[in-house]
Amino acid sequence: MPLEIITVPCLSDNYAYLAHDAATEATAVIDVPEATPILNALRARGWRASHILITHHHDDHIAGVEALAAATGARVIGAAADAHRLPPLDDEVTEGDVIRIGMDEGHVLAVPGHTSGHIAFHFPASNVAFTADSLMSAGCGRLFEGTPGQMWESLSKLMALPADTLICSGHEYTASNIRFALSVDPDNPALLARAARVTAARALGAATVPVPLSEELATNPFLRAKDAADFARLRALKDRF
Ligand code: ZN
Ligand code: FE
């Protein structure tokens, strides 16, 4: 049975995710912008957090980690490279490490660019990847600590996952990302159709994530870049948009 994925809105525009294995009752929480909405989402389903997976050190992804860990006893897992600036970790991981959530296995991918220590978690059997601020819905994270070449390499790694992988990113930025995408790719029919769907979803206050990788490949301007140099050009345009 694949993991059941729940999207939990936090703060003003962040998302945390629950990944629940029904067979063993294990539940991973991916990023903890704040503890309360996550504890409420767990309680509503009668679930207990067994693991906390941290994607990167920014405060809007970790501020609630210690409170959630204290309330649930969950094991806290994050990048070894960022251990000095993450909440206390029970497990320090690097690319290639495997995290077992119940019956499922998550593979750690290094995806630097937004931050130097950013990691993603790919669960092949459940067809889901938690990418936070690396690959984002219709966009990618700003390059705070990495070069365009590093981010291009990170995105290329994610682009190589199976096309039906569900991409769980860290923010509700889709509408503004699509405005930029339309400015550089105005005649893309897949993008125009997605723009209409996103406008309708946002009008209802609905989340626009997660998104299948296939949709990102068809519409995300950063994944449609020709090469690293083209990616760098697009990223610089977006920073000024
Ligand atoms: Zn961030
Ligand atoms: Fe963020």
**What single-letter amino acid sits at 86?**
L
Closest CA to 15 of 206, 174, 171: 171
Q: Phi and psi dihedrals of 190, rounded to 5?
A: -65, -40
Q: What was the pLDDT predicted at 62?
A: 98
Predicted confidence (pLDDT) per residue in 147-167, tens digit: 999 999 999 999 999 999 999
- Alpha carbon of 61 to ligand 2 centroid (Å): 6
Q: What was the pLDDT predicted at 103?
A: 85
Across residues 185-204, what is the average pLDDT? 98
Q: Residues with beta carbon < 5 A to ion ligand 1?
A: 58, 133
Q: What was the pLDDT predicted at 160?
A: 98
Closest CA to 54 of 108, 125, 126, 123: 108
Predicted confidence (pLDDT) per residue in 27-62, tens digit: 999 999 999 999 999 999 999 999 999 999 999 999
- Alpha carbon of 207 to ligand 2 centroid (Å): 16
**What single-letter amino acid sits at 167?**
I
For residue 14, give the ligand nearest its CA: 2
**For the chain, domain boundaries:** 4-240
For residue 113, give the ligand nearest its CA: 1
Across residues 113-133, what is the average pLDDT? 98
Provide the 8-state DSSP code for 165.
Answer: P
For residue 57, give the ligand nearest its CA: 1
**Is CATH 3.60.15.10 the right assignment for the domain spanning 4-240?**
yes
pTM of the shown model = 0.98
- Alpha carbon of 221 to ligand 2 centroid (Å): 20
For residue 144, give the ligand nearest its CA: 1
Predicted confidence (pLDDT) per residue in 81-107, tens digit: 999 999 999 999 999 999 999 889 999
Predicted confidence (pLDDT) per residue in 200-236, tens digit: 999 999 999 999 999 999 999 999 999 999 999 999 9
For residue 171, give the ligand nearest its CA: 2
Judged on CB neighbours under 10 Å (0-12, 13-18, 19+), 206 is exposed
Per-residue H/E/C for 55-102: CCCCHHHHCCHHHHHHHHCCEEEEEHHHHHHCCCCCEEECCCCEEEEC
- Alpha carbon of 136 to ligand 1 centroid (Å): 11
- Alpha carbon of 53 to ligand 2 centroid (Å): 15
* Contact status, residue 2 vs residue 125, Cβ threshold 8 Å: yes
- Alpha carbon of 33 to ligand 2 centroid (Å): 9
- Does position 138 have pLDDT exceeding 90, yes or no? yes
- Alpha carbon of 24 to ligand 2 centroid (Å): 30
For residue 145, give the ligand nearest its CA: 1
Give the DSSP H or E segment for 4: strand 4-10
